[in-house]
Chains A and B, each alone.
Chain A
Amino acid sequence: DVKVTQSSRYLVKRTGEKVFLECVQDMDHENMFWYRQDPGLGLRLIYFSYDVKMKEKGDIPEGYSVSREKKERFSLILESASTNQTSMYLCASSSAGDRGTDTQYFGPGTRLTVL
């Protein structure tokens, strides 16, 4: 059974803290994604990685960075957390096989609250 896991389900941090969100997939997928989900706004892509050490900015990369040192692990970093980064964060992965037909597999999400 395919699996995407995220390091925390709930996280509470203070403004200005550096925050790490970790995502691990066990499907040997090339592509990994970080989204944030907010009511009324749906899913918005923060960053995308198509290979180890490779990344592309998504729609809302400001205030975030990412790291992919190993194929199975994709980290999202909030350099200095702010209250407007309070949100649900979803990690996903997909295969680079048949481009455009591949399913995205999602983790359970991390609900981050910044106080």
Chain B
Amino acid sequence: GNSVTQMEGPVTLSEEAFLTINCTYTATGYPSLFWYVQYPGEGLQLLLKATKADDKGSNKGFEATYRKETTSFHLEKGSVQVSDSAVYFCALSDQGGSYIPTFGRGTSLIVHP
């Protein structure tokens, strides 16, 4: 079956630091990969996605590259802000398979001024 593994949090950084949140996956088919973000008190919202190998998704200064050879989709940002404090979820969906995505457990990011 499919699975997504994320680094455990919380990740605590100072403002303007570099961020990496690791995500690796196993999939039986050919997945699309997603990062969702959940700000305090809100539901999840899509941050970025990639649908084929070597694609890079990007949004709001965040980037992630679909690496088929290492089955990874690590999230990066060059300079985090306090407003980036949130929980980040990596997810995958099987293209041509089930409509039900597989989510990682989430990684909490705390950014201090």
Alpha-carbon distance between A94 and B100 when the two chains are bound, in angstroms: 10
Q: Which one of B13-21, B70-78, B89-97 is at the A interface?
A: B89-97
Cβ-neighbour of A106 out of B31, B32, B43 (below 8 A): B43
Report which of B43, B97, B99 forms a contact with A94, defined as CB distance below 8 A.
Answer: B99
* Contact assessment for A101 and B93 in the assembled complex, using a CB-CB cutoff below 8 Å: yes
B49 is contacted by which of A58, A92, A94, A103 (Cβ under 8 Å)? A103
- Which of B41, B46, B95 is close to A100, meaning CB atoms less than 8 Å apart? B95
Give which listed residue, B46, B95, B104, contacts A99 with CB less than 8 A. Answer: B95
A42-B89, A100-B94, A103-B34 known; A90 and B43 CB under 8 Å?
yes
Interface residues, chain A, with chain B CB atoms under 8 Å away: 4, 31, 33, 40-43, 45, 48, 50, 58, 90, 92, 94, 96, 98-109
29 contacts between A and B (CB under 8 A): A4-B43, A33-B100, A40-B105, A43-B103, A48-B99, A92-B44, A94-B99, A96-B99, A98-B95, A99-B93, A99-B94, A99-B95, A99-B96, A99-B97, A100-B29, A100-B32, A100-B95, A100-B96, A100-B99, A101-B93, A102-B93, A102-B99, A103-B46, A104-B36, A104-B44, A104-B91, A105-B46, A107-B43, A109-B42
